[in-house]
Structure formats: C-alpha cells, structure tokens
Chain A
Amino acid sequence: MRVAGKGLYDQSRRIGFSFDGKPMSGIEGDTLASALLASGVRLMGRSFKYHRPRGVLTAGSEEPNALVTIGQGAQAEPNVRATVQELFAGLNAQSQNRWPSLRADLLSVNDLAAPFFSAGFYYKTFMWPRAFWERVYEPIIRRAAGLGALSGRHNEDHYEKAFAFCDVLVIGGGPSGLMAALTAARSGADVILADEDQRFGGRLLAETEEVDGQPGAEWAASMVRELEGMDNVRLMPRTTVTGAYDQGTYGALERVGLHRPREAHLPLECFWRIVARRAILCAGALERPIAFPNNDRPGIMMAGAVRAYLNRWGVAPGQRVAVFGNNDDAHRTARDLAAAGVTVAAVIDSRAEPGVSGDFPTYSGAQVVATRGRQGLTGLTVRHSGGTVDIGADCLAMSGGWNPSLHLTCHMNGRPDWSESLHTFVPRAGAIPGLVAAGACNGTFSTSACLSEAIAATKAAVSELGFKPAAIKAPRADGAAYRIEPLWAVEGKGRKWIDFQNDVHVKDVLLAAQENFRSVEHMKRYTTQGMATDQGKSSNVVALAVLADATGRGIPQTGTTTFRPPYSPVSIAAMGAGAQGKGFAPERFTTSDQASRDRAAPMIEAGLWYRPSYFPRPGEATWREACDREVTMVREAVGVCDVSTLGKIDIQGPGAAQLLDFVYTNTFSTLPVGKVRYGLMLREDGHVMDDGTTARLGEQHFVMTTTTAAAGLVMRHLDFVLQVLRPDLDVRIISVTEQWAQFGVAGPQAREVINSLIDAPVDHATMPYMACAPVQVGGVGGRLFRISFSGEHAYELAVPARYGESLYRLLVAQAEALGGGPYGMEALNVLRIEKGHITHAEIHGRTTAFDIGFDRMVSRKKDCVGQTSAARPGLIGPEREQLVGLRSVTPADKLTAGAHLFAGGEAAVRANDQGYVTSVCWSPTLGSNIGLAFLRNGRARHGERVRLVDHLRRIETVCEVCDPVFVDPEGGRLRG
C-alpha cells in the first residue's frame, strides 16, 4: 500500500496496467514490482523446481523471484524481472511457471515430494533404462521445471547495436559514480556515465540520508543537471554494462523501448560496445539474504529493498513489518518504517550487543527460526536468549550484509579477495587493465568514504591520461561505519533457501559436501547453485559460507566461482542486432541481376552473390527440363552466362611475372603478351588452394581470375606473399572484381555473337584458343578472352561494370537470334562436369595437384608456394584417391554427391572405402548419369566397375570408372 507523502514520485499521476488479466494501477516512476506491492500483490511467481509461491525479494536487477512475461503472442518477452520493468500505460504482465493459475498451481505437488528431489536427484534416479532419458524423463522434467516460455514464433522485434568511445567510462550512477563522472568531466575528459536504472542516484534514491545538506535524491538530481549541461559528458540511463573485455572494451545493454508502449520505429534494446581508455567501476553492492527455515515466503524480502520501496516509491510492503539482520542496516530499516508510520513488529538482531536501538521491540542475539503463511507471510518465530516468541507480521525485512558488485573485475579471469572485516569478497586491484573500483563495489560502504574514494580514483585515472585533475572536494555525507557479525544459516527445522531462483537450500549444499563435491565449482554444478538467470547474485556468498562450514575450511580456502559476462541477462537478439535475416549476409548483385530476374530465373546464392539458377521457358515443368535444354543449347548453338562473380585481381609491376611464377605451380613468365594460361595455386602444405586463368595484358600487366568462393582468400594470400615472402618483387595488386562485368559466350555460334557486338571482328587467326586482346564494344573499351569452361568454342567479354547490364541484354538478344540464349548455374555445372573441369567440390582443401591429375603442372624449374610439400611422401602415389569420371552402367541409375565407392563384392563399410563422389549430374549430351569422384589409384582403373553406396539416401548404383573428361577429350571443339 502507498504511504501518503512518501516517495520521489507524484502519487496522483496514475497509470493503468494488468497482471494476469486483472486491471490494476500504479504511478509514473513505478516499476512493475513497486506497483504490484502498492496494489497489495505479494505472490508474483512460482519457483523453478518446487513451484513454491514466491514474492519479490529485491528492488533491483538481481531479482531472483519476481519474473513475469510481458506482452502477448510473438512479442511476448518471458523472464522479465518485475523489479526492472518500468510501468507504462497498458503494460500487460503475466505470471509464469504455474497452471492453471498463480494461486492454485497444480505442480506445487512437487513441493510435497521435495524430500525425493534433493541435489543430484536426476543423476541418481533416471539412470535406467538409458533410452528413456531423452524420450521420457527429460521432456517430463523440462515441462515440470522452468521459468517463462518462448512463443516459438519468429521474432519480428527491432534491436540495435552501437559503438561508443570515451576517455573515462563510469559504470554505475550512484553517489560514487556521479562523483567520479563529475570529477572526470570537470577535468576535461570525455565521459560516459552508464547506469542500469532509469534514474541516476543509486542507493541515494532508496535512503533518507543527506548529502551536502540536502536529501540524497535531490543532491543526485543536481549532479545530473550539471553533467547534462556539459558537452563532454554522455549520460546513459537504463544501460547495464554487462562485460569487461580486452583493451578497454565494454559491452553494455540499453533498454530503449522496453519501458514504453511498443512503437514500430523504436528498437527494444541496443547493445553497445564501448571503448574506454579508463573505467571507474562504481557498481555498488548487493544485499544478501540469511538462510533461515522457510525464508522464501512472499512478504520476506531484503531490508534494503524494503527501504527502497518505502523511500523511493512510497510503498509499504506490509502493515506489520519485522526486521531480521546481523548489521546496523536492520535498525536503519526499522527507523525508516517507523518514521513513515508503518508498524514495526520487531527487530531481530543476531548480534549479542547491537549497540543501537529504536522505538520498537528489539531482540538481541536472536534469530528467526520459523515462518508461517502459505501464499504470503503471516508470522514468524524468534529464538532469543530467553526462549522463543511468535510474532505476527506480513513482511519480514532481512539483511545478511552486503556483497560488493565486483563481477566485472572478474571478467578477465581475476579473482576477488576475502575481507575478514567486511565478511565478503572485495575486488583485487588491477584485475582489469585500465579499470579501478571505487565505493561500495570496492568494499567502501559509507557514503562519505564512497565520495572521497571516487574523487581520488578518478583524479588518478585522468592524470594517467594527461588531464589536469579538477580541484574538487567531497561533499558532506553520512560516514557511519559498517558494523556486521557474520550469520549465514540459522539452525532449525525446514528448508533454508539460498538460491531462490534455482530452488537450492542449505541441505543441498551439505549433501554435495557429503558426497564429496567439495570444490565450489563441483558443488555449484551438483546443486545448480548460482546457475539460474540471476547467476547467484544474492546467493553465491551464502552458499560458499555454508560449504566452507560443512567442509571445515575457511571461506578464502574454499574459493569462489568464476564470474563471467554478462553481468545480467542479455537477449541474443540484442547481441545479434543487425545480423538477422538478410543482415546476416549482405547481398551482392551482378550487373545482369535485373535482366535475369526479368526472365523469372530463380536466383541461387554463390557466397554473397546471387546468380541465376536456370531460365525457365513456358512448358517446362522442372528445373531439369530447363537445364537440359540450356546444356544442349550451348553444345549446339550458343549460350550467354554472367561470370563477373569470379575474383579478378589486377597485377602490375616489373616483378609481376615472377610473383605469378611463385604463387602458381606452373610458369607464367614465359606467357606471351596477349595470351591466357590456366594456373593452379597450392597452399604451403601442398594441397590445392585455388585455380583460374591469368591473362597477360602487357609486359608488366596481368589480370588474374580466382574462383568466386576463394576471391578473398587469394587476395590475402597474394598480399602475404608480396609483403612477407617476396618483398624483393616490385609489384602492386588490387581487386577489380567489381570494376569489370564479364560474360561467357559459349557454343559453336559464339564467334558470331561476339563479332556482332565488337567494333573489329575477330577470326581464328587473330583470336586463337587462349588468346586475349583489348576490344572496342560499341565504342567502349573492353577485354576479350578466348577461354572455355564448358569445353565449347567460347569467349569471355569484359567491359567496365557500368556497361554490364546493357552488354548482357545485347549478348542475350544476339544469342537468341542464333538459336541460343542465356544459361544458368545448373547448366554451367553440367557443362563443366561433362568436360571434367574441377570446382571447389573437387579442390575442397584435401586434394593435391597429383590427386586431380595436374602433378605435371608443378614445375620443378622454379620455387613456388607448396612445391616442396606437394612432393612429400604420402601426397603422391597409388594409395591416393585420384580424380576419375563415373558413369552409371544403367544410364538412368542415380549417382549422388557424397556417396562412397566400394569394390564389387565388398561390404559397404568404412574399412573397405575406396573413395567418394564429389559432383554429379544428368548429362543430356551423353544421355546418362555421370559424376566426378576420387577413387583410390583411380587413374589406373579406367574401365573397372565400382559400387556407389549412399547410406543416407539409400542408393546403390554400379558405375563404370572412366576418364573425367566425358566430352571432347581431344579438345577439338574448344580450339575449333
């Protein structure tokens, strides 16, 4: 219920929302949690394993219990922390992990069976029968346990990513963070101040203390006003710094559209990568619970959270509130409640001599040993020196002390140190280069000390960056010392919860220790302690203390688990922003793209490129019909194909020929100007890297083509050779793939098509096979190459890319006039298989020049990359699988790529494997299914029969081994 006159927000500005379909209202500035508490809702969720009724435990991002689903349908967002979700008009929240309703959850029978569900239960119980785990046990367990559910539908929501740079990144905007940001900003540094909350101020918004003579929240607001007015400061509220990475890089998640009604143009979240020369960690501290029997009833929450709800949101979480603690914050909570007119039922202090008191019943040296209330707290039992007493209360505030939020300091493998005086871990200095911790996250708990420490740390940081630190003094603030006596778990009957989110209690940790999972990492995995979405923020230290006690070691000797990024959950959609759908792989289009689409060609991906698959004609029902027609068209008339996607590298300089001699196995320095040569490129380990043709345009000028797939790889390789292996060569290289549009024209009528478009016609004498020459195409300077991938009389004509589309349309029109037309990738593939030409299906990284029958192309007269290794034993010889052609003995029998080859009578098992198939097609030219394959000692086995077996597709075909060149092995057609 709302306390009149309390809180930082105007209680008259009301907004409506719904929870489990029930209309409710809150005020502007509320979180969903504060609005629900104000509406008297204590039960907010069901626990993960036992379906225990749970209420809100905290007031921040560490919340383990109050997880809800926001929105509906495909836009539903599960596992949203009610303590983080800001209220907006029309917000629709649903509780999770319950059926049929939150109050009457049938699976809460799990709680009755709890004695059977101890840690390790699954491992011990579901051992037999083995096959049942995947089909029976796991699905049932997954249904019964769990948090929110995904819609299972495609996420249409918009997410964003962004980059930022600064001199000083201040992580956390509480008193330390505000002070650090102001110190850095006044010193002239570029500052980013990020805080996960909607409003800067941190604990100052939740406490009644004063800073610089004014209420803490007002002091924070005045600091924000000054920072807002400075050009060198960027304030990032609602932004959680989630991880610290190498060289001053930080990940941060900003909530952009989650706190307001959906608007199509707004991303929900933005994932930032912030590069900071220095970082000041001012992440504060998190309060930890005490493990006492049934400490998980709705209404039991952290004392600091009770103060936050009261002082910031004006909400009293109960009408009769009891407070249980081992430090002075218990009394601070009771004082704030009493001052606001809330009845304080009792203060239970575990310390024998608290040294503080107030105007309320106080039990010293006392502990809470039992609680009551099925769906919400109704009362508790206190054991004190004089006996036990029952106290009626609908809210219990607990404080087991504070844990510094040092998580980020551990993200690069740093380990924290145990502080014997604070009874908690504190960060180790220098764990993240360039980052210093200041304030509560560094174990400095009084506001006054926080402010001074933040100033000092920031001054040191900006000095290191060369700024003159501004003269700045810490304002007056509360300086009370932190007084605590450790209390981790209370003796008593009943489950004492540690990890509320994963339903781990003290007995689970003890059982882990008893079963010899004594290492903290083993205990964690055995019990699932700290492995839920809150990553054990409130529970890890308590679990560790219980384990230390059970194993008779101290806490520092027991160690701590590793904190890894992210600090709090980051949606995958935010991390992958921009990479969904088409954003995952940008599209590259050729100049003929529109012309191909105009002819209804289905486009197929080739790397990032899109190329036409085939060009359907009326009456053709399948791709095969179109493909067969296109193949025959090329063999009998003429076809046109865009080959611009092949990599083109321009190579110039006095050392150009020597460079080619060094990267290709064969010799290019002997190539005359005006000629083209096929080249084979090896990796240094002797395997084939790539192949392609290179033309000599001038004495010192070559243009190399690479395969489409290896264009980038070859460019890197050439750069490596030039910069590292052969710096003696005076050569410059540049990729010109996108500067030239290039088209293949193949078939008996190819020359007619070419001559109809170039200004000076060519004939066999001026343009023999493997010649190249500059040509004029309608007055445009182009290049003509007489090369062939199909085995036909063929040319490739290149023009500057801006003329590509019109040239393509002209070429196709000319071809059609001669009974030809365009052909796509399917036909291109059939043509090259018929001719026995290889692609990366054959040169897949494990084949050598010897394997593909090109060992004679490895010149011994010069050194080249891969030459030495290519001659290595094991890479040549009859034991190698060598390139062969395959033809099904019964022409219609299918061949499949990926199938393996076996000798006639041998079983089709791995030990008998003789090779495998790489490329297959139906050859309309031969009227048979054919393929390319690698077969052990294959070149010596032409004419033999082998059995092709495809276990996956259940295909078995008897094939005849033959030469890989099926069509025109003498080469008469391409030279003709």
Chain B
Amino acid sequence: MRLTCPLCGERDRREFYYGGDAMALERPAPDAGDVAWNDYVHLRDNPAGATRDLWYHDGGCGTWLVVERDTLTHAIAKVTPASEVAR
C-alpha cells in the first residue's frame, strides 16, 4: 500500500501509523451528552466500500492525514492534511 502525503509525496505504508476512523476529528463539546460522547469514543462504522481514516506520517513530516479509501478495492481517492479537514 502506498499513500501520497501532501507534504512529502508518495510513500510506502511503512512510513505511516494508522490512527483509526476519521470520526476522531469531530470531538463533541464537553457538555454534548453521553450519547454523543459514546458515539465519538466507541462507535465506528465498518463499511464495505468508501471509508475515511487517519494516518500519521510517523517516518516523515509528522502530519496527521485523512485518507479516503475503499475497503473493497483498496483504491485511495484522496489524502488531505487533517488540519485542513478539521477546520
């Protein structure tokens, strides 16, 4: 598997650390309630198809990335710095 880091270019998967579902970007407010927090911390979709997850360029620039990919074909549609997605 290869990911194209927007800062460093196309690199082997070994340079990256997997950080789970990109839902981690959408942190609820402290008072959002148990349901919202339970969803945020524990509930994850397990899609057969398009997915969005987080990768950290550990062996490179240290940027957290949002990777849009397909769990069936393994095709990677888009890689964006998480900081741009979060805003």
Do the beta carbons of A246 and B2 come within 8 Å of each other? yes
A-B contact pairs, 15 of them (CB 8 A): A246-B74, A247-B2, A247-B76, A684-B24, A716-B19, A719-B56, A719-B64, A720-B24, A723-B83, A723-B86, A724-B82, A725-B27, A725-B86, A867-B30, A872-B37
B interface majority secondary structure: mixed
Interface size classification for chain B: 20 to 34
Which residue from A273, A684, A723 sits with its C-beta under 8 Å from B64?
A723
Shortest CB-to-CB span from B41 to chain A, Å, is 5
Shortest CB-to-CB span from A600 to chain B, Å, is 37
Do the beta carbons of B19 and A720 come within 8 Å of each other? yes
Do the beta carbons of B41 and A719 come within 8 Å of each other? no
Do the beta carbons of A869 and B41 come within 8 Å of each other? yes
Q: Please measure, in the bound complex, the distance between the C-alpha atom of A274 and the C-alpha atom of B19, giving whole angstroms.
A: 26
Task: With A247-B76, A724-B24, A868-B30 as known contacts, state yes or no: A719 contacts B62, CB within 8 Å.
Answer: yes
- Most chain B C-beta atoms within 10 Å of own C-beta, residue among A246, A412, A684: A246
Q: Please measure, in the bound complex, the distance between the C-alpha atom of A723 and the C-alpha atom of B76, giving whole angstroms.
A: 22
Query: What are the residues of chain B within 8 A of A720 when measuring CB–CB?
Result: 19, 24, 56, 64, 82
Q: Please measure, in the bound complex, the distance between the C-alpha atom of A248 and the C-alpha atom of B75, giving whole angstroms.
A: 11
Q: Please measure, in the bound complex, the distance between the C-alpha atom of A724 and the C-alpha atom of B25, giving whole angstroms.
A: 6
Do the beta carbons of B17 and A716 come within 8 Å of each other? yes
3 tightest Cβ-Cβ pairs between the two chains A and B: A247-B2, A246-B1, A723-B83
Q: Please measure, in the bound complex, the distance between the C-alpha atom of A685 and the C-alpha atom of B58, giving whole angstroms.
A: 23
Shortest CB-to-CB span from B7 to chain A, Å, is 12
Task: With A716-B58, A869-B37 as known contacts, state yes or no: A724 contacts B1, CB within 8 Å.
Answer: no
Return the CB mask of B71-82 against A: 1 if under 8 Å, else 0.
001111000011
Task: With A684-B41, A872-B34 as known contacts, state yes or no: A724 contacts B75, CB within 8 Å.
Answer: no
Return the CB mask of B40-63 against A: 1 if under 8 Å, else 0.
111000000000000010100011
Task: With A412-B74, A719-B56 as known contacts, state yes or no: A724 contacts B41, CB within 8 Å.
Answer: no
- Most chain B C-beta atoms within 10 Å of own C-beta, residue among A248, A715, A869: A869
Interface size classification for chain A: 20 to 34
Q: Please measure, in the bound complex, the distance between the C-alpha atom of A868 and the C-alpha atom of B30, giving whole angstroms.
A: 6
Q: Please measure, in the bound complex, the distance between the C-alpha atom of A149 and the C-alpha atom of B83, giving whole angstroms.
A: 55
Do the beta carbons of A433 and B75 come within 8 Å of each other? yes
Shortest CB-to-CB span from A190 to chain B, Å, is 15
Do the beta carbons of A716 and B42 come within 8 Å of each other? no
Return the CB mask of A851-894 against B: 1 if under 8 Å, else 0.
00000000000010001110010000000000000000000000
Return the CB mask of B1-30 against A: 1 if under 8 Å, else 0.
110000000001000010100001101101
Q: Please measure, in the bound complex, the distance between the C-alpha atom of A163 and the C-alpha atom of B24, giving whole angstroms.
A: 34
Query: What are the residues of chain A within 8 A of B1 when measuring CB–CB?
Result: 245-247, 249
Shortest CB-to-CB span from A143 to chain B, Å, is 41
Specify the chain B residue showing the minimal Cβ separation from A718: B62
Shortest CB-to-CB span from B28 to chain A, Å, is 8
Q: Please measure, in the bound complex, the distance between the C-alpha atom of A685 and the C-alpha atom of B39, giving whole angstroms.
A: 11
Given contacts A248-B2, A719-B56, A723-B63, 5 further A-B contacts (CB under 8 A): A412-B74, A720-B19, A720-B56, A724-B24, A868-B30
Shortest CB-to-CB span from A721 to chain B, Å, is 10
Which residue from A248, A719, A727, A868 sits with its C-beta under 8 Å from B86?
A727
Task: With A719-B64, A872-B34 as known contacts, state yes or no: A727 contacts B83, CB within 8 Å.
Answer: yes
Query: What are the residues of chain A within 8 A of B19 when measuring CB–CB?
Result: 716, 720
A275 proximal to B (CB < 8 A): yes
Shortest CB-to-CB span from B84 to chain A, Å, is 10
Q: Please measure, in the bound complex, the distance between the C-alpha atom of A723 and the C-alpha atom of B65, giving whole angstroms.
A: 10
Shortest CB-to-CB span from B12 to chain A, Å, is 8
Shortest CB-to-CB span from B39 to chain A, Å, is 12
